[in-house]
Amino acid sequence: MSDPAPPGVGQMYLFDEMTPPLVDNSYRITVNTAVTIDGGAQPLPNSQRFFNIEGPRFTLASSEVAAVFPPRNGHGPFDEAIPHIALGRRTLPWERELDPASRIGTLTRKPSDPPPPNPQPPGSAHQYGPPPWLALMLFEEGEYTIHQNVQLENAIPQQIFEDLGRPQGITCDTVEASADLVASLMPSVEELMLLSHVRLVNVDDRELSAGSSNGWFAVVMANRLPRPNAKCRACLVSVEARSDLVPADPPPVALTFGHIIAIEEQPVIDRGVESARPAAAANGNRVPAPAARALTAGALQPRPRPVGNLAVDANQFFPGTVQLVLLHSWQFDCTDMGTFRDLMQGLDVAMIGTVAVPGHPPITDTGHLKLELSDRAGVAEQVWYRGPLVPFELTRDPLGPYHSADQCRRATPETGAEDVSYAAAFEVGRLLAAADGRLAQELMRWRREAFKQSNRRDVLKSVAQKIALAQALDIHEPVAPVVAASATAHIVAGAGPYADTYGLTAASRAIGMNPAALQKAWNLGSVAEAAVILGADPGTLGAQVTVPPQTPRSEVTLDQVAADSASLERLAQSRDRILINTRTKLEGGK
């Protein structure tokens, strides 16, 4: 199946899942070849080969991560943003099986339940699409501990280690947290599918900054909102074979009625951000409202596990702490800075109209403010500046792009003096770009590549001057074979023929090929016995070998060949077969 056409700028395509053609595993390929000779079947023996498809499992390279949100080490009002991570390979969350041992069980459904997130057609082996093996969990400072280089068998339960196939010699990073907290945060099978999807974006959309990607990204989201003024860490963990943690059913939906909560009889998908998650209750009973659900910022309570018709506290299953295989993590601070709307509402707009103190600062009717500026010579001068927020429409400057702030300084007809508005904007943009670590890395990479290409060009020029090359060198193509062939031809030019073409003379001088030396070293009875051990080949032992006489052949005239019609017919048939095979190969290669 071919990829769809790229979306337009400002648009994207969303997909529930993107399963690879083959998941990580060991495979066997068998090749059968059917051959017929003169109409009779002459099958060749089958050929079998084995190969493995391996992808990230217990570690994840940083190059696999395209972007994270909130930004790494970011500070901002992220209390209303769901943390998520974008992976550069679209099939990564579905490249492994969540429950290879089939221990989690199937989802309990009733006719009144909503449809599964990704229902499969009738007759399929599963009622919904494959769930991902990755989950993004959000922890606050003090709720977790990061361990590095932990033996896998020491980090997970023994049964889970068995279900993973007992991989030996595996060390990984883990995140450890209390069992009740992990039970409250761990998504169910359906929630895992709802928290992962695939996006296809337009690579030319500068707002999205797709970079060198092909536009495909797999996105894994968390199910917990950051709390204001909290320092958080988002952890991408592996839940492969974690049947001890991943529940089959989502938590019961708790509907708030005043100060009481009604628990529905069957568990359904909880899509409400402000829904409550009870600590322990029997179906149909009304209990006081507990702490908010994991999606809501704030304290967490252990998730009840439905077992039969009862909701059992998760602490009965997970005492103490548990560890999860950690693939990637990043930190950010959720500072209480307010939303963009709050910041704009608090903006002092008096400069656009009436100033707070009459006459201070003096704003012209064009929105310009007089400033004192020191030029490069240190001389003070009066200049004008105008910000981007003015009560009338402005025209775009047609003189850019600029390469320095000095190019933006000019005298405008509105003020009759020097205007540094665009110069200030240029400096602000330059400083913002310099503060971006990714931009600095890309600039350094660009400089290194330019230096390598310049150095390569100089080396090739020097080689071309020293050696008469057989063909011109392209800076972007491999040049080692061309230089090696030309250098070899230049070295052996004018040399005579080899005296010992096959090296027999040199080999005969080796001490191990001398029958007399071999007879003495091994205490053999005679030199003839040593010659037999060496093969008794005179040519090998350095003796002069006479050329055997050629078999005499009768002279055949052209007329005799033309008269042999049977042989000519066989030659013609062979020629026709060669032409047909050649034509077939050429047509097939088009």
Q: What is the pLDDT of residues 510-543, one digit of tens each?
A: 777 778 888 888 888 888 888 877 776 655 555 5
Same domain, 270 and 400: no
Residue 253 has pLDDT above 50, yes or no: yes
Dihedral in degrees, nearest 10, Cα atoms 219, 221, 244, 58: 50
| Residue 36 buriedness (CB in 10 A; 0-12 / 13-18 / 19+) | exposed
CA-to-CA distance for 322 and 160, rounded, in angstroms? 13
Q: Is 119 a domain residue? A: no
Of 106-120, 234-248, 419-433, highest mean pLDDT: 234-248
Q: Is 53 a domain residue? A: no
Higher model confidence: residue 470 or residue 577? Answer: 577
Q: Flag the least confident range among 33-37, 268-272, 349-353.
A: 268-272
Phi, psi dihedral angles at 540 (to 5 degrees): -70, -35
**Beta carbons within 8 Å of 143's beta carbon, 6+ residues apart:** 177, 178, 181
Same domain, 381 and 444: no
Q: Is 146 a domain residue? A: yes
Q: How confident is the model at residue 314 (pLDDT cuts 50, 70, 90)?
A: very low
Maximum Cα–Cα distance for the chain, whole Å? 126
Averaged pLDDT for residues 249-253: 73
Residue 571 has pLDDT above 80, yes or no: yes
**Beta carbons within 8 Å of 383's beta carbon, 6+ residues apart:** 370, 371, 372, 373, 417, 418, 419, 420
Residue 214 has pLDDT above 90, yes or no: no
Same domain, 99 and 226: yes
Same domain, 161 and 218: yes
3-state helix, strand, coil in the chain (%, to 5): 25, 25, 50
Q: What is the pLDDT at residue 178?
A: 94
373-376: which pairs have CB atoms within 8 A and are 24 or more residues apart? 373/420
Higher model confidence: residue 75 or residue 343? Answer: 75
Q: How confident is the model at residue 573 (pLDDT cuts 50, 70, 90)?
A: confident
* Degrees to nearest 5, angle at CA 579 with 574 and 585: 125
Pairing of strands 36-37, 230-238: unpaired
Of 189-193, 326-330, 484-488, 517-521, highest mean pLDDT: 326-330
Contact 395, 412 (CB under 8 A): no
CA-to-CA distance for 283 and 65, rounded, in angstroms? 43
Q: What is the pLDDT at residue 90?
A: 92
* Degrees to nearest 5, angle at CA 46 with 42 and 47: 135
Distance of alpha carbon 181 from its chain centroid, rounded? Answer: 30
Residue 54 has pLDDT above 90, yes or no: no
Same domain, 425 and 458: no
Residue 202 has pLDDT above 50, yes or no: yes
Q: Flag the least confident range among 9-13, 147-151, 491-495, 573-577.
A: 491-495
Q: What is the pLDDT at residue 465?
A: 76
225-235 in b/e burial notation, b at 16+ Cβ within 10 A? bbbeebbbbbb
Residue 264 has pLDDT above 70, yes or no: no
Of 293, 307, 226, 303, nearest in space to 255 by CA = 293
E strand residue ranges, 308-461: 310-313, 321-334, 369-374, 380-385, 410-411, 418-419
Q: Is 43 a domain residue? A: no
Same domain, 323 and 307: yes
Q: What is the pLDDT at residue 185?
A: 93
Percentage of residues of the chain with pLDDT beyond 70: 72
CA-to-CA distance for 87 and 218, rounded, in angstroms? 5
Q: How confident is the model at residue 230 (pLDDT cuts 50, 70, 90)?
A: very high
CA-to-CA distance for 439 and 443, rounded, in angstroms? 6
Contact 225, 82 (CB under 8 A): yes
Same domain, 399 and 512: no
CA-to-CA distance for 456 and 476, rounded, in angstroms? 10
Q: What is the pLDDT at residue 251?
A: 75
Distances 268 to 130, 190, 275, 302 between C-alpha atoms, Å = 19, 10, 12, 18
Dihedral in degrees, nearest 10, Cα atoms 100, 17, 55, 146: -80
Q: What is the pLDDT at residue 514?
A: 79
Q: Flag the least confident range among 13-17, 78-82, 221-225, 337-341.
A: 337-341
In DSSP terms, 312 is beta-bridged to 305
Q: What is the pLDDT at residue 343?
A: 74
Same domain, 83 and 148: yes
Contact 184, 298 (CB under 8 A): no
Q: Is 396 a domain residue? A: yes
Same domain, 169 and 309: yes
Residue 187 has pLDDT above 80, yes or no: yes
Higher model confidence: residue 513 or residue 200? Answer: 200
Q: Is 507 a domain residue? A: yes
The 10s digit of each residue's pLDDT in 129-169 is 789 999 999 999 999 999 999 999 999 999 999 999 999 99
Cβ count within 10 A of residue 205: 17
Q: How confident is the model at residue 115 (pLDDT cuts 50, 70, 90)?
A: confident
Supply 439's token pair.
Answer: 């931009």
Give the residue numbers spanning the domain of 465. Answer: 438-491
Same domain, 467 and 367: no
Q: Is 575 a domain residue? A: no
3-state SS assignment for residue 551? coil
Residue 432 has pLDDT above 90, yes or no: no
Q: Flag the least confident range among 195-209, 215-229, 460-474, 549-563.
A: 460-474
Q: What is the pLDDT at residue 120?
A: 64
- Token pair 């491999």 is found at 478
Dihedral in degrees, nearest 10, Cα atoms 291, 293, 294, 298: -40
Supply 82's token pair.
Answer: 């769901």
Pairing of strands 171-178, 418-419: unpaired
Q: What is the pLDDT at residue 536?
A: 64
Q: What is the pLDDT at residue 155?
A: 93
Q: What is the pLDDT at residue 311?
A: 35
Averaged pLDDT for residues 545-570: 79
Contact 361, 355 (CB under 8 A): yes
Higher model confidence: residue 38 or residue 254? Answer: 38
- Picking from 334, 369, 390, the residue at the C-terminal end of a domain is 334
Supply 115's token pair.
Answer: 């449809």
Q: What is the pLDDT at residue 273?
A: 33
Q: Is 158 a domain residue? A: yes
E strand residue ranges, 245-359: 254-257, 260-263, 286-288, 304-307, 310-313, 321-334
Same domain, 316 and 429: no
Same domain, 456 and 430: no
Share the mean pLDDT of the chain.
77
The 10s digit of each residue's pLDDT in 59-111 is 999 989 999 999 999 988 898 899 999 999 999 999 998 998 889 887 777 77
Distances 196 to 68, 139, 189, 344, 580 between C-alpha atoms, Å = 14, 19, 11, 34, 54
Dihedral in degrees, nearest 10, Cα atoms 470, 474, 475, 480: -40
Q: What pTM was estimated for this model as a whole?
A: 0.54
What is the number of structural domains in the chain?
A: 4
- Picking from 434, 455, 472, the residue at the C-terminal end of a domain is 434
Q: Which helix (H) or strand (E) holds 568?
A: helix 565-588
